[in-house]
Amino acid sequence: MRITELPDPWCRSPYLLGEHAQAEVRAAWTSPDAVLAVLDGPGRRCGLFGLGDPAALARLLEQAVREGRPALAEIRYVTSQRGAFEAMDPALAPGLGVAADGSAWDWMWTAGPLTGDPDGAERLPLGTATAAEVADFLSRGHPTASTAPDDERLIGWWGVRRGGRLRAVVGAILVTPGLPPHLVSLGVDPATRGQGLAGVVMSAAVGDCLLVVPEVGRPMVSLGLYASNDVARRVYARLGFRLEHELASRHRPG
């Protein structure tokens, strides 16, 4: 089964189509208000994903534990709507086999141009020179960026220069070919923050990325951020990104 074969509205979910359209649905549990699915596809390890009302999702998680389908034994992590783990029956929650805590993060997306002005941004040619320049910049502008400047999944870097030096950058990856682009590693030089450069570089990147036609669904661009990053969330929302899901991920040992 594929995502497009899930019941409505989950077959149209921007998150599931944008991140997992190529995955095999190994098992699924649905209700009018929630969906839970074991997804196994290219670019990611097998995981259990849950969307929808946290209370309804908790009931599906409990059902999955009680049924103990073989596919559940193969997952390496669980990502679900925040609040679902906490709403589970405490006697059943350990049956998921994941850590008692994990990371909280948000997923945002857009299917249209951002409100910022892309004028002044440039698309940087992929290659060793750009990777080195971006790495040097990120050491100042985003030292905790998790995507390597030479990651093979990258389809582009976009940057804004002032005085001949990069002052803002953002990258875009395809988790696997055929999926929509996902923005990564937005950084702004501390010396030029507050000048709107994030909006410039992101608007340029989104404009180009919307030209990428995915194998399933419509063109779109997504990004993820830690739930604690309120400043970034406000910036993204102001530019036109929509907050679609507030998620939590927990991993199995090993």
Domain membership flag for residue 251: no
Q: Are residue 160 and residue 104 in the same domain, yes or no?
A: no
**Based on the structure, what is the number of domains in the chain?**
2
**Average pLDDT rounded to a whole number, residues 92-105:** 96
**Could you read off the pLDDT of 148-180 as tens digits, one per residue?**
999 999 999 999 999 999 999 999 999 999 999
Asked if residue 84 and residue 135 are part of one domain, the reply reads no
Q: Is residue 202 part of a domain?
A: yes
Q: The domain that contains 159 carries what CATH number?
A: 3.40.630.30
Q: Is 134 found in the same domain as 71?
A: no
Q: Is residue 236 included in any domain, yes or no?
A: no
The 10s digit of each residue's pLDDT in 112-161 is 999 999 999 999 999 999 999 999 999 999 999 989 999 999 999 999 99
Which residue among 80, 109, 138 closes a domain? 109
Residue 244 counted as domain residue = no
Compute φ and ψ for 103, nearest 5 degrees.
Answer: -110, 145
DSSP class of residue 33?
Answer: T
Q: Are 21 and 5 in contact (CB under 8 A)?
A: no
Same domain, 162 and 206: yes
One-letter amino acid at 92 equals: L
The predicted structure's pLDDT at residue 43: 84
Of 109, 138, 153, which one is at a domain's C-terminal end?
109
**Residue 9 sits in the same domain as residue 98:** yes
145/90 same-domain check = no
Shared domain check, 204 and 136: yes
* Confidence band of 82 (pLDDT split at 50, 70, 90): very high
Rounded to the nearest 5 degrees, what angle is found at the Cα of 240, between the Cα atoms of 198 and 82?
Answer: 100
Residue 232 lies in a domain: no
Per the domain annotation, does 7 fall within a domain? yes
Which band of pLDDT confidence, cut at 50, 70 and 90, is reported for residue 232?
very high
Q: Which domain holds residue 141?
A: 121-219
Q: What is the per-residue pLDDT for 122? A: 98
For 35-77, what is each residue's pLDDT tens digit?
999 999 998 999 999 999 999 999 999 999 999 999 999 999 9
DSSP string, 83-151: THHHHS-TTTGGGG---S--EEEEEEEESS--SS--TTEEEEPPSHHHHHHHHHHHHHH-TT--S-TT-
Q: Are residues 162 and 88 in the same domain?
A: no
Residue from 123, 107, 108, 105 nearest 209 by CA = 123
Residues 95, 78: Cα–Cα separation, whole Å: 12
How much of the chain exceeds pLDDT 70, in percent? 100
Q: Judge if 105 and 147 occupy the same domain.
A: no
Q: Is residue 168 part of a domain?
A: yes
C-alpha pair distances (Å), 99 with each of 95, 96, 140, 228: 11, 9, 33, 20
**126 and 93 fall within a common domain:** no
Tell whether 40 and 128 lie within a shared domain.
Answer: no
pTM value? 0.95
Q: Which of 52, 79, 109 marks a domain boundary?
A: 109
> Rounded to an integer, what is the distance from CA 219 to the centroid of its chain?
15
Confidence of residue 254 (pLDDT cuts 50, 70, 90): confident
Q: In this model, does residue 192 exceed pLDDT 90?
A: yes
In three-state secondary structure terms, 25 is strand
DSSP 142-173: -TT--S-TT-TTEEEEEEEEETTEEEEEEEEE
Q: Which two tokens stand for residue 7?
A: 């019941």
Q: Mean of the per-residue pLDDT values for the chain?
A: 97
Same domain, 82 and 144: no
- The helix or strand, by DSSP H or E, that contains position 52, with its residue range, turns out to be strand 47-52
3-class DSSP state of 23: coil
Q: Residue 7 has what DSSP assignment?
A: P
